[in-house]
Structure 1
Amino acid sequence: MTNNILAKENIRLNTTVAGKEEAIRLTGSILVERGYVESNYIEKMLEREELTSTYMGNFVAIPHGTEDSKHFVKESGISFVQVPQGVDFGNGNIVKLLIGIAGKNNEHLDILSNIAIVCSEEENIDKLVTATTAEEIIAIFEGVN
């Protein structure tokens, strides 16, 4: 993943959130602040969550917008929120890592595939949950560790 898609400024470590909605709003607000998406995208992320949970297993959720939210995306980027204490995503699913995605054109498929590869390894999940610097997170996604 290139640095402009996952920059240090896109990463929040050791975060505490009150619940799933706050977690998704935070994940989306990073994308807005960093100029990847327009603010309306956050509502589309919440709408998407209502349709079907973005919980992927292994303590990971990947909040993203609905199909009709593409016009709110200015450029591809991801946000990363680490919640070591976990946040309940319903049905007993606890999330410790939120990875927000904004994909321009069809780039979200490449981004998703990179995330899936990293998150399929339990060892990587443990490292991401316990990482104390943004550089550690980026290194894991770049496969440098």
Structure 2
Amino acid sequence: MSSQILKEENVVIGAALSSKEEAIRTVGNILVDQGYVETDYIASMMEREELTSTYMGNYIAIPHGTEDSKSQIKSSGLSIVQAPDGVDYGDGNKVKLLIGIAGKGDEHLEILSKIALVCSDADNVEKMLQATTKQELLAQFEEVK
């Protein structure tokens, strides 16, 4: 995965999140702060969540904007927030790893497929949940080509 799409500055380890909304804002703000998206993209991420949950199972959620928000994406990027205590994501689901996505053009499909490869392996997910450094967490993505 390109180092421009996912870099250390895009990762937060050990976050304490009080709600799903705070969790989505946290991953969204990283995308904004790193210059991948315009501020309005966060509202689009919230809107997307109301349409259908981005909870994927295995303690993972992948918040992203709606189809209409494509114009708010400046370049493709990912943000990852690890929340060891988890956050209530509704419907009895607890999320401990949030992966925010901004995909320019059709790149979001490629990005999603790489995330799916990494997250389909329970060992990889466990390593990301147990990671104490950004480098440890990012190492799980570097193994996927």
1:1-145 equivalence runs, <5 A = 1-143=1-143
The superposition leaves residues 34-67 of structure 1 with CA deviations (integer Å, 9 ceiling, x where unpaired) of 0000000000000000000000000000000000
Query: Percent of pairs identical after alignment?
Result: 61
Q: Secondary structure at the match of 2:75?
A: coil
Which whole-Å CA distance do the structure 2 matches of 1:63 and 1:15 have between them?
A: 16
Q: CA deviation at 1:138?
A: 1.5
Q: Distance in 1 between matches of 2:46 and 2:55?
A: 13
When normalised by structure 1's length, the TM-score is 0.98
Secondary structure of 2:50 counterpart? helix
Structure 1 consecutive aligned stretches of length 4 or more whose deviation exceeds 3 Å: none
**How far apart, CA to CA, are the structure 2 residues paired with 1:14 and 1:73?**
27
Structure 2: distance between partners of 1:91 and 1:75:
33
In 2: Cα distance, 1:131 partner to 1:34 partner? 22
Q: Secondary structure at the match of 2:86?
A: strand
The one-letter code sitting in structure 1 at the alignment partner of 2:77 is G
CA-CA distance at 1:2 after TM superposition? 1.0
Q: CA deviation at 1:142?
A: 1.0
Q: Which runs of 5+ in 1 are unaligned?
A: none
In the alignment of these two chains, the number of paired residues is 144
Q: Distance in 1 between matches of 2:86 and 2:134?
A: 19
Aligned-residue Cα RMSD (Å) equals 0.8
Counterpart CA distance in 2 for 1:106 and 1:137 is: 26
Structure 1 distance, partners of 2:138, 2:4, is: 11
How far off is 1:111 after superposition? Answer: 0.4
The runs of 5 or more residues in structure 2 that have no matched partner are: none
Partner Cα distance (1:136, 1:17) in 2: 21
